[in-house]
Amino acid sequence: MERVIFYILAFLIIGLALMSITTKKLYRATMYLLFVLVSISGIYFLMEYNFMGAVQLSVYAGGIMVLFIYAVLLTDQIGKPLRDTSWKRKLLAGIISMGAAALSIYAIVTFQGINKTFEPTVTRVEDIGEKLLSYEPGGFVLPFEVISILLLAAMIGAIVIAKAKKLVNQEKN
């Protein structure tokens, strides 16, 4: 059963991803991407990583996609068809990507140690929280702190640039 669902999801992900990167309409692309992200959260749920699935849905599908949509709106790209790139580039990119993908998949398939099986466990939200705040071996408090600074820095960076936009506008007027 899960296998069937997985394959459905997999086809959704791949199909929608392909559509997302090939469609001529930018807004549609964002929508396809949204569906991809949602499908991916399905995979998380399927793996019984519910917290991950939730995060995926809320942060990605909820947060990041909104940013994208705003950006698309702000840059006035809804109706415009996207310029097509040259066939040469497509061919080259296709060859490289497919080749790399084939290579990677071959590597994955031939890897010996990958079929170990473990007893299934369910990760609870509490466990994750505990781990995130633990400074013992296996804990992740340091990354947690670091990413806070990172987010702060990214935020400041984004704000500064956003502010600059205003300044540019002022300057323009």
Residues 1-40 that bind another protein (CB under 8 A): 1-3, 6, 10, 13-14, 17-18, 20-21, 26, 29-30, 33, 36-37, 40
What minimum distance in Å lies between the beta carbon of 16 and another protein?
Answer: 10
Helix (H, G, I), strand (E, B), or coil: what is residue 81? strand
**Best CA proximity match to 108, nearest among 118, 96, 100:** 100
What minimum distance in Å lies between the beta carbon of 166 and another protein?
Answer: 10
Q: Of the two residues 79 and 136, which places its CB atom closer to another protein in the complex?
A: 136
What minimum distance in Å lies between the beta carbon of 42 and another protein?
Answer: 11
Kindly determine how many residues on this chain lie close enough to bind another protein according to the rule CB under 8 A.
110
Helix (H, G, I), strand (E, B), or coil: what is residue 68? helix
**Best CA proximity match to 163, nearest among 171, 106, 136:** 171
* Residues in 38-97 that interact with another protein by CB under 8 A: 40, 43-44, 46-49, 52, 55-56, 59-60, 63-64, 67-68, 70-72, 74-75, 77, 82-85, 89-90, 92-94, 96-97
* Residues in 118-147 that interact with another protein by CB under 8 A: 118-121, 123, 127-128, 131-132, 135-143, 146-147
d(CA 121, CA 56): 20
Count CB-CB contacts under 10 A for residue 62.
Answer: 13
Q: Identify the residue among 8, 78, 99, 125 touching another protein (CB under 8 A).
A: 99
**Best CA proximity match to 20, nearest among 28, 10, 8, 12:** 28
Q: Of the two residues 79 and 169, which places its CB atom closer to another protein in the complex?
A: 169
Kindly list the distances between the CA atom of residue 136 and the CA atoms of 10, 14, 130, 133, in Å, as whole numbers in the listed order. 37, 39, 11, 9
